[in-house]
Structure 1
Amino acid sequence: MANLNHMDKHFETLDDFLGTHFIYTYDNGWEYEWYAKNDHTVDYRIHGGMVAGRWVTDQEAHINLLTAGIYKIAWTEPTGTDVALDFVPNEHKLNGTIFFPKWVQDHPEITVTYQNEHIDLMEESREKYETYPKMVVPEFANITYIGDAGQNNDQVIAAEPYEGMTDDIRNGKFYDENYRMIKR
C-alpha cells in the first residue's frame, strides 16, 4: 500500500497546486473529491450531499493564485450551477460557495451521473426547469487528503463514486505508487 496522502505538502506557487488531488468535507457534512488537472481544467466526484454520486471530468475552470499558498477556482457547469472555491491548503481548509439553480434543488437526481456522458440532458434540463431562486450553499471545509497526482492524470477521477471510496483513497487502497487506479 502506497501512502499517497501528503497532508504536510507546502503550497506556495500555482505549480504547487496544479496536479493536486484533494478530499474535503464541508461543515454541513458533504464530502467532495477534487483534482486540479491543469491550469484550466478540474475533475471531481461528489460523495455526500444532495448530488452525491455525481462525477465530472475535464470541467473548464478559472484557476488562480491569489497570494502565496491561496487559490481561487471558479466555473459554471452545463447544469447552470456556479461554483467558487477558495483553497488554503497549507491550513487544510477551503471555503466553497455553490450556486445551484432551482431545477437542481428540485431534481438533483438528474445530475447524479457521469455528467460528461449526459451534457445534452444537463443543458436540456437547464432550459426546461426553473433557474431561480438559486440555492446558495456557502460552506467552509476541512481538507482530509492531499495527493500529488501530477497534471493531466486521467486515472485520478476515472470511476464512479462508491460508498467507502474516500476511505479507500485515504488508506492507500485505491491508487498505486504511480497514482494509477488499482484494479478491483
Structure 2
Amino acid sequence: DLHLLYDYDAEGADGKPEKWRYEMWFFSENRIVYSIHGGPMAGRLNYQTVAFQCIRPGELWQCNWLEETGTIVSLVYDIKNAKITTMIGF
C-alpha cells in the first residue's frame, strides 16, 4: 500500500509556468487509483489495472497500464532518489 504525490513543471496555454499535480494510490498487487489536480486533465480520477515490475529491490519499480482510451502509461519510481519518471503514449 503506497501513496505518491508528485508535481510536474509545465507551461500553460498563456506561456506562464504551471505545476501539474498527480496523486496515485497503489493499493493492491494489480490495481491503482490516480487523480490529476492540475493541467488540461485536472479533475480526472481513474482506477486502472496495472502490471508491476521490480527492477532493483528496494530501489526501483516500474508500473505499466493501458487505459480504456488506448493511452499507454509507463511509470518508474526511483525510491532511493525520490524521483518519478513517466512515459505516456496516445
TM norm. shorter chain > 0.5: yes
Letter of the 1:37 partner, please give it: F
Number of aligned residues: 81
Matched, 1:42 2:32: yes
Letter of the 1:35 partner, please give it: W
**1:60 aligns to what?**
49
In 1, distance between residues paired with 2:64 and 2:9? 20
**2:72 aligns to what?**
82
What is the TM-score with the length of structure 1 in the denominator? 0.42
Structure 1 residues not aligned, in runs of 5+: 1-18, 101-184
Indicate the structure whose relative CO is greater, using CA pairs within 8 Å and at least 6 residues apart. Answer: 1
Matched, 1:27 2:9: yes
SS of the residue corresponding to residue 52 of structure 1 reads coil
Higher helix fraction (1 or 2): 1
In 1, distance between residues paired with 2:77 and 2:8? 12
In 2, distance between residues paired with 1:95 and 1:27? 13
SS of the residue corresponding to residue 80 of structure 2 reads helix
SS of the residue corresponding to residue 91 of structure 1 reads coil
Q: CA deviation at 1:56?
A: 0.9
Q: CA deviation at 1:70?
A: 0.3
Identity between Structure 1 and Structure 2 (%): 32
Letter of the 1:22 partner, please give it: L
What is the TM-score with the length of structure 2 in the denominator? 0.82
In 1, distance between residues paired with 2:82 and 2:8? 12
Over aligned residues, Cα RMSD in angstroms? 1.1
Q: CA deviation at 1:88?
A: 0.6
Q: CA deviation at 1:78?
A: 0.5
Higher strand fraction (1 or 2): 2
Q: CA deviation at 1:90?
A: 2.5
Q: CA deviation at 1:89?
A: 2.3
Larger radius of gyration: 1
* The one of 56, 62, 69 aligned to 1:72: 62
Structure 2 residues not aligned, in runs of 5+: 11-18
* The one of 22, 27, 41 aligned to 1:51: 41
**2:16 aligns to what?**
none
